[in-house]
Structure 1
């Protein structure tokens, strides 16, 4: 259970002075056999462990259809990010077949972690995308063999379309439904879901436009909200559905400027869970035309408006993924310095708000 407390003035002052500690979790410069690491995803397992997943791109930094050797690797932390395990490979196909774009969902009912990825056999089926998942029942220590979801969450006529599951993370609604986004460049953004804790999956066949890589969450009134990357207009798009994805109302959000880059959207607190306020968090490279200025912003009105936020890193920064740590801190995992580094950084709500909003988690 979450409890929110106001700290004394001296603790608010210390929050304003917090210095950020960037931990480079995946660095290709340390590996002679890896060209780069890209596409970060991070979640908090039910036992409190952090799981950070990413592409290990071996021959080049090219995306899935450009590289015959991309693996999915992870690092784990059991102390809220103070220390991390060695790099572990969780998806590794033979040369010619690649896996890319990790994303995760934690089922808070069962504790199972689902890790989704996109797959291609560049030797036998070049440019044909398959959508797959592995799962862990022990908080990320071990993982199942991949299961191909393509036939469940796409249509047969999409076979040769440019399609992919959005990297980063999906979500779980209050009734237990698992939800995630996938993009079909020819047929639009879609949602897919599961009502049986990941035993089976289905496509919600309502195209959502415009939208590229996207994040979906449930608002306190049950509305589904998608926040989307859109090419060319310098800002994000927001899509709202009050009927579980059957129909959508879409509009741009001029306050969320964006250079056309994957971002992160998560819930921090909800009055439905006993908190004093609803809080959403949004991270992205806050520029219109350049991947720089990684920023975290807060919404107290379910995404209608956003604070100016705090800059986490002024320099080159691109894809990002957030998670809530067991003590209520916010963990951000993001691409840094032209993809040379993939940094984890931990901040507090107090720091983000200069002490105006303070939080302490208790059981």
Structure 2
């Protein structure tokens, strides 16, 4: 298990003309963790980077705020959304700031909103490792227990000039790395990142990580556990799993990798949510062919295992990142539990951002509600008020902007478009 210390540094503001390097403290653990143990980083593989644009560039017709905008924010490309609502009500929006494609000297960056997403502060660089590429920001806020109020952020790095299809297994110089940093002042400053590769990734795999958000379990025997969804390489046979901590993030353990369904396709970017019975619902992108749907799985042991995944025929997806959240739970004063899924509701092309609801823990889904008729790619939801408004942070305008909007799911009655 990896222990963590308490050194911190202040996140710096990004200026378009200067890209400074940051010293990274590498703390590799030599201890063997739990037996067994990962996204092609952000967008699959080098092949993804060379594709023609796959997103409708028509602007959204809904009122939204621009969080990140290419060039204006000092980078030619900014992608991969993740967002948290903190206990003080502020929002933190994380992303990869890139010089080019998936692996182009990417930095991990963040912006803050103190007015519910109407306006956003300046871009801050959390980590910049020079030529190496940083991918898949994955944050979580500790809500209670040890280190309550602390924000953990994990992400992975790839050596300069190398992608998911060329990194080596093991822990050598041509392997990917996993990093963990944290903030005790609501994201104003961040600790020096520590190398947690030996904990987060099995030696036989060549990379591991996932975009999205982590969760802290609130129910049952694993209450208090912090869980990060992950998927491990190799690119042609990725598998989903979780990394978790029972002591507020001081030490971490790696769960078993889920078994992919038959058919030759595999799990990619992973989203998880705790259900009212304390189990964890897993929802992931499908990679390496397969139907234009999603994969799902369930853990009853706090994320230590997810068994065999299955195709969720009720969710349409063009093979793209999506997210699930618990909008309301029956054990929290609501008449009925409701899980929401959001992603592009198309089999071809990334557009038509929609959400659907499930009232039976993700077994079946209702009719889609179209939120963004135009271009809509990677996205992440955040609960702004349990049972009330939901925030949506998404890629738009042909990947030129990353936007935020608020919506109230309300009662769902057939396919509709929110006005």
Using the size of structure 2 for normalisation, the TM-score is 0.73
Aligned pairs for 1:248-263 (under 5 A) are 248-263=307-322
In structure 2, the residue matched to 1:188 is 239
The yes-or-no answer on 1:336 pairing with 2:396 is yes
Give SS of 1:206's match: coil
| Residue of structure 2 equivalent to 1:36 | 77
Alignment check: 8 A CA contact 2:256 2:306 kept: no
- The separation in 2 between residues aligned to 1:134 and 1:297, in whole angstroms, is 33
2:68 is the alignment partner of 1:26? yes
| Cα distance in 2 for residues equivalent to 1:263 and 1:144 | 29
Q: For residues 208 and 51 of structure 1, do their structure 2 counterparts lie closer, same or farther at Cα, with a shift above 3 Å needed?
A: farther
CA distances 1:70-96 after superposition (whole Å, capped 9, x unpaired): 111111111211221111111122x31
Q: String of CA shifts for 1:156-209, please: whole Å, max 9, x gaps.
A: 232xx2x23110112111201111222123362221111111111111023332
Task: Give 1:341 shift.
Answer: 1.2
Matched, 1:236 2:294: yes
Aligned to 1:266: 325
Give 1:300's match in structure 2, choosing from 356, 359, 382: 359
Q: Decide whether the 8 Å contact of 2:208 with 2:232 is kept in 1.
A: yes
Distance 1:236 1:208 in 2: 15
Cα drift, residue 124 of structure 1: 9.9
Residue from 388, 408, 413 that aligns with 1:348: 408
Task: State the Cα distance separating 1:299 from its structure 2 match.
Answer: 1.6
- Distance in 2 between residues matched to 1:263 and 1:192, nearest whole Å: 20
In structure 2, what is the equivalent of residue 119 of structure 1? 157
Matched, 1:208 2:246: no
Q: Where does structure 2 lack aligned partners over 5 or more consecutive residues? A: 1-60, 168-174, 261-265, 414-419
Aligned to 1:132: 179
Contact in 1 for aligned 2:258/2:305 (Cα 8 Å): no
Q: Give the CA deviation at 1:275.
A: 2.3
Choose which of 148, 151, 155 in structure 1 pairs with 2:202. Answer: 155
CA distance in 1, matches of 2:389, 2:98: 30
Structure 1 residues 334, 124: CA separation in 2 closer, same or farther (over 3 Å shift)? closer
Other structure's SS at 1:229 match: strand
- Give distance in 1, aligned partners of 2:123 and 2:280: 35
Deviation by residue 1:270-327 (Cα, 9 ceiling, x = unmatched)? 1222222211111101111221111122222211222213211112211000111258
- 1:24-173 equivalences under 5 Å are 24-31=66-73, 33-58=74-99, 60=100, 62-64=101-103, 67=104, 69-93=105-129, 95-109=130-144, 110-122=148-160, 127=167, 128-158=175-205, 161=206, 163-173=207-217
Which is richer in strand?
1
Deviations 1:199-230 (A, max 9, x none): 11111023332311111222212222111111
